[in-house]
Every structure is written in structure tokens, then in C-alpha cells.
Chains A and B, each alone.
Chain A
Amino acid sequence: MDNSLAIKVDNLSKVYKIGLKEQKQETLVGSIIDSIKKPIKNFRRISRVRQSEIQQENADQFWALKNVSFELSKGEVLGVIGKNGAGKSTLLKLLSRITYPSTGRIESMGKIASLLEVGTGFNPELTGRENIFLNGTILGLSKKEIDERFSEIVKFSGIEKFIETPVKRYSSGMKVRLAFAVAAHLEPDILIIDEVLAVGDAEFQRKCIGKMQEISDGTGRTVLFVSHNMAAVKALCTRGIVLKGGEKVFDGSQNAAINYYQAHLDNAANLDYIDDISKAPGNENVRIVNFSIKPLDGDIISIKSGVRFEVLLYNFVLGANLDITYELRNSEEIIVFHTGNYITTTNNSRKGFYRIASEIPSHLLNSGLYFFSIIVGQNQKTALFKGRDMVSFEVIHEASENHTRELPGVISPILSFNTIYQGE
């Protein structure tokens, strides 16, 4: 393997056998015979889990990962993004040697530590101190290495006072902090992280992100990071790959990967029926052929990028006044805005395509998931078509000097302030 590489993944696949629906006997004799045959059937079923030969196109096979290849240089921080079930966790499990590939090969250089879960092996009866040593050795440290880092770990966790207390008396937050403190001091050559940042309070999360940046900066540590949190991927990673249905569909810079994910995979951010209008959502009056969401600036939809949204509809209603109403809701079902616009004003609608584009300015929407619904109406009275949650998109938070972390609120405006000292 090339010396500058940390990980080389070659045509990696993982196949799981999935249970097919069992046939149920309906007669008494049938079920008696069945229960006699059952042990043999069960034995075959369980044994099949570890069969290594792979038959193509088998109904009871599930390809959790299919022919994935990539190389990771030393010091690179790779973000792995994809929807649930895209194969992210399987990839991490293969890289961390928890499970073995069905075909393909992984070669890695240096000590690997994987954090698929923090606090693995924590025992509630043991004290914080004992758990640091148990958890640390499970994660591959030696007693000597833990001894050297012990005070630092305790300090980082911020629970010095409770270090001799059994972990079962800890709050869940304290447990997570202790667990992450151990994990943060592993100092491996390659670190594999799965969404551990989704835990703990905001302050501790910030500390973790800081610690991870410290890990990846300068020390030449290679990091593989799986997350749903696009903001974290953007902040931490230098490169991104996108998985879909077990296959690698994109490999590039982290911004390009996030952009690809938002544009192609993220909750069907784009609706596109340009190839076959007859299947487009709508009815005999109007069909929504295309609905796209894009950033105004750059390639990622973020708080400061703003959003451009564009609808292409095909109209069948002649000589009417058409209007379109947009309703944007966030993931808490709060209506962010409800606004309409005329498409035609003088009873002159024609058969054919209308393209309506608009923009949401930057620094308006806060980070989060948003859902667009539209209503196409006639003469501001009758609704020709209502489409709920037609597209959705995520606005991500980008860290900047005055906004280091995500803030609450529906909107995130930049306001100008004027402060004058008024005297005593």
C-alpha cells in the first residue's frame, strides 16, 4: 500500500441474508409435520447467515454495501453521508473489524479506534475510575496509557467530584461526558466516529467538536465521520462521500458532497417529472412538473446562502386568472410563511408551461428542516390543486465568528443595533 495512504477500500461488499416470509400450515397435521421439520429448517436458516458464497439477484439477500471503493490519505477527514439504510453504519462496522466483508478488501495503516457508541462496556456497578480503565482497555488502550492520561480524562469530563461514585448514580449526561472523555483521549492514527456528537448538552457538544478539530488539525490524524448533522460534516471534514442504497454515489470535497446530498437525496429535495408529465403530481387542471430548491449563493443551503425556489407547472385551464400560494413549514409544523402570487392577471391563462421562481433572502431562515406545500388556484377562489409537503430541504448552520453554534428560533436575522449611553 502507498505510504501516504491511511485506508484503502477495495470493492467492498456486505451481504446479509434476510428472512423470507415463512409458510404457515393451516391444518393440524400440517403444523405437526411442520414442527418436526422446523429444527432442520431453523438450522439451515441460521447457518446461512454466515454463508460466504453470494448468488446474484437472490430474493433473500440484502446488499448493505455494494462494491464500495475509496482511498483515504493520512490526515484526511472524511465525512460519510447518506440517508438511513444507505450503508453508512455497515461501512463503519467493516472498517472497525466488528463484522467482516462478504467480498472485497480493506487495508489500513496504523492504530484504529472506532466510536460507534460512547461508553461501550460501561458497568453501572463500577465507579467512574474503574469504568475509565475498563472502557479504555476495551477501546484498545493499555493500563499504562490510561494511567498517563487519567487526570486529563477526568478533567475533560468535568466530573472530578464523582469519580469514586458508581456510575449507576450518574445522570445520563454525566455518563456521556465521562464516556466521551475516554474516547477523546484514545489518540489513534485513524479515528472512526458514528454520530457520537448527537449526545450531550450544547456546551459539551461544542467542547467535543473542538476536541475533534484539535485531533484532526496538525497531528495528521485520519478521521472517518458519519453523521446526519450536515453542519458538523461541513465544519469538521475535508472530504465527503455520499452513500445511497449501499453504493457510493459521490466522492469529492465536503461542500460538494453536502450539495450533492441536498440536491439528490435529501428527502427528495427536488421534484422532477420533466421526462413524463403525465406522472407529475397534479390533476386534469394543472401538473407540477418540476420543483427545485437551490442555494442563492455557493453550493450548500445554509443560513447565509439564502434559497432560490422554482416551480415549473403545466397548465390545462384556459382563460383564467391563475395564482400560486406557497406555504413553508418547519419540522415542528410551524408555518414559517404563507404567501401567494398571481401567475396570470387578465383571464388569459394558456395551455403550457409556466415557470415561477422566487427567493428567500439570506439570514432569514434558521437552520433546520423545511417543507414546502403549494396551492394552485383560480381567480383567488377555487383551488385547482393542493400539494402538501411537495419538497423539503435542510438549511444548515455554518459556524462563523458571531454564530459558533446553532441558535433557537424560527428565523435567524442579522439585526443592526444602535447603542447609546444615556448617562446616569
Chain B
Amino acid sequence: MSRKEKSIVIEPTTGSKIFNIEELVRYKDLLYYMVLRDVTVLYKQTILGFTWAVITPLFQIIIFSVVFGYLAGIKPDVAGMPYPVFSSLAVIPWTYFSNSVSASGSSLINTSSIFTKVYFPRIIIPLTPIFSKFVDFLISIIILIGIMVYFKYLPGTNVVFVLIPLLIIIITASGMGFWLSALAVQYRDFKFAMTFMIPLLMYIAPVTFPATLVLEKFGSTLYHAYALYPMVGAVEGFRTAFAVGKEMPWDIITISFLSSLIIFFTGIWYFRKMEKYFADVA
């Protein structure tokens, strides 16, 4: 045989290695087709198609602008930024985060008919929604552009930093996806818990209010502790990147980034530790 042969050993303890990069590279095409399947299937047989990726966040932005911006009178911490712009700069990345976490969290439960029949690196399953929801995210950028054009708000030069908060979102969503999918396939309780926990997570993230509000009310120690919640640095960082005349909050971005790495690597560790039981419990 021309192929370089390598023996595979299956033992009760196999699968504890943290990351099998070589194997993931070999299965990269599978990830690609799983993502492609998610993207093409999602809006099939709908009338509005990809418009749905726009409608959901748009309605949220409108409601937030009325309830929090107009009725509750929350003021953006950036001079000259209208509340709808402020709100959309948080709702858009948040929507990507919450969609990918909930899809990733339930991914193993939904694909049990596949992974109980064929072997492939299981980690591809919770990773798929992180990529497929990114397509929705890119589409929803249209709203952002639309709102900014409507309110004539031009982003500043900090916009080049937008990739850093985006990276925090991807890392956090993947890490939480690893944790939740591995837990939910064993304990279905997590499936129910996710449906109400993820929306609640939004209210403690600086989506409807500026993170500096926490700094004002609770002081700098608690403000930095608050950033341990990765979506604090991610959402605030994403929004500030578009703001004119406001420094990037590097302190909370750093804290959030480190915290997201902890979630990510513990997530991989737990997922890899449990994956050999998935076929038995699913």
C-alpha cells in the first residue's frame, strides 16, 4: 500500500489527548460540508429565506431602542451616538453568540443518529454551528450598515480592532458549545436550561447598557471582575471599535480574552474526556 501506515490502538483510555490536530486537518472537508449543509438547509422551504437572518436582530434592536433607549432613558457612553446605533452594535454580535451557543449546545443531541454509526472526530459536531451561524452574522451586518447610514454615524479608526472582540466571541461560543453539548447529551436537563439561560445571559452582558455603567456604579475592582464574563469585553469591544472618540477598553478586553481561553480549553478537555461515552448515552 502506498499510504503511510499508522496503527490505531483502541483501549478503554483512548481519547484523553487534548487536541488531535492531525486528525482534524484530515477531516477538514467534513467540517466544510457540515457547515454547508447547515447553511443551505436552514432557509430551504421558507418564503423569506436569508431575510430571516436580518429580521430577528432587527426587531430586537427596534424593541430595545424603544424600551431601553426611549422609555428607560439609558444613555450611550459615547457622545453623539444614537441609541439605535449603540443597540445594534451590541445586538448583532450578541445574536451571533447566542445562536451559535444554543445550536452548538444541542448539536450532539441532534446528530446522535450520525455519531452512533460512524467514527469521525466528534469535536466537529459542536464546531459546525460556530461556522454556520457566522454566515447569518455576516448577513446581519447589513442591518448595521443600514442603521449607521440612516443615523449618519460614521465609524472611527478603531474599527480595525473589531476582529479582536469577534475572536473572543468565537472562542467563547466554541468553549461553551463544547461544554454544553457534552453535558446535554448526557443530562438532557441542560437542553431545557439552555433555552432560558442564554437569553438571561444577554441581560447581564452590556448589550442594552454601556459597560462603563458598571464602572460608575460598582467601582473598578468589580468592573474588572465583571469582565471575567467574556461577553463583557467582546460586546463592549465590538461596540467601541465603531465608536468615534472613545478609547478601546483594552483592560476588559484582555481579561475577557483570557477568560474565554479558559472556557475554550476546559471545554475541549471535558469534551474529549466524555466523547467516548457519547455513543453509549445518546
Binding site for B on A (CB under 8 A): 1, 16, 43, 46, 49-50, 52, 93-112, 114, 116-117, 120-121, 123, 125-126, 130, 133-134, 137-143, 189, 220
Q: Chain A's nearest CB lies how many Å from the CB of B116?
A: 6
Assuming the contacts A16-B280, A99-B276, A126-B41, asked whether A138 and B10 have C-beta atoms less than 8 A apart, the reply is: no
Q: Which of A49, A103, A133 has a CB less than 8 Å from the CB of B277?
A: A49
Q: How far is the CA of A142 from the CA of B173 in the complex (A)?
A: 27
Assuming the contacts A16-B280, A46-B186, asked whether A102 and B8 have C-beta atoms less than 8 A apart, the reply is: no
Do B44 and A125 touch across chains, with their CB atoms under 8 A apart?
yes
Q: Which of B10, B33, B274 has a CB less than 8 Å from the CB of A106?
A: B10
User: Is B20 engaged at the interface, CB distance under 8 Å to the other chain?
Assistant: no
Q: Which of B8, B12, B15, B114 has a CB less than 8 Å from the CB of A138?
A: B114
Q: Chain A's nearest CB lies how many Å from the CB of B181?
A: 16
Do A108 and B29 touch across chains, with their CB atoms under 8 A apart?
no
Q: How far is the CA of A220 from the CA of B5 in the complex (A)?
A: 14
Do A137 and B27 touch across chains, with their CB atoms under 8 A apart?
yes
Q: How far is the CA of A146 from the CA of B12 in the complex (A)?
A: 33
Assuming the contacts A46-B186, A130-B40, A189-B1, asked whether A105 and B9 have C-beta atoms less than 8 A apart, the reply is: yes
Name the prevailing secondary structure of the A interface residues: loop
Q: How far is the CA of A121 from the CA of B115 in the complex (A)?
A: 9
User: Is B216 engaged at the interface, CB distance under 8 Å to the other chain?
Assistant: no
Given contacts A1-B7, A49-B280, A50-B280, 6 further A-B contacts (CB under 8 A): A49-B281, A104-B12, A107-B8, A123-B41, A125-B40, A134-B37
Q: Chain A's nearest CB lies how many Å from the CB of B125?
A: 11
Q: Which of A43, A101, A117, A126 has a CB less than 8 Å from the CB of B37?
A: A126
State the interface size on chain B (CB cutoff 8 A): 41
In the complex, chain B residues whose CB is within 8 Å of the CB of A106? 9-11
In the complex, chain B residues whose CB is within 8 Å of the CB of A137? 27, 29-30, 32-34
Q: How far is the CA of A98 from the CA of B113 in the complex (A)?
A: 12
Do B26 and A98 touch across chains, with their CB atoms under 8 A apart?
no
In the complex, chain B residues whose CB is within 8 Å of the CB of A138? 30, 114, 118, 120
Binding site for A on B (CB under 8 A): 1, 3, 5-12, 14-15, 26-27, 29-30, 32-34, 36-37, 40-41, 44-45, 113-120, 186-187, 274, 276-277, 279-281
Q: How far is the CA of A116 from the CA of B10 in the complex (A)?
A: 18
Q: Chain B's nearest CB lies how many Å from the CB of A135?
A: 9
Assuming the contacts A107-B7, A125-B41, A126-B41, asked whether A93 and B120 have C-beta atoms less than 8 A apart, the reply is: no
Residue in chain A with minimal CB distance to B15: A100
Q: How far is the CA of A97 from the CA of B8 in the complex (A)?
A: 10
Residue in chain A with minimal CB distance to B28: A142
Q: Chain A's nearest CB lies how many Å from the CB of B137?
A: 22
Do B10 and A105 touch across chains, with their CB atoms under 8 A apart?
yes
28 contacts between A and B (CB under 8 A): A16-B280, A49-B277, A49-B281, A50-B277, A50-B281, A94-B10, A95-B10, A98-B117, A102-B12, A105-B10, A105-B11, A106-B9, A107-B9, A108-B7, A108-B8, A109-B5, A109-B6, A109-B8, A110-B3, A117-B117, A126-B40, A126-B41, A133-B33, A134-B36, A137-B32, A137-B34, A142-B29, A143-B29
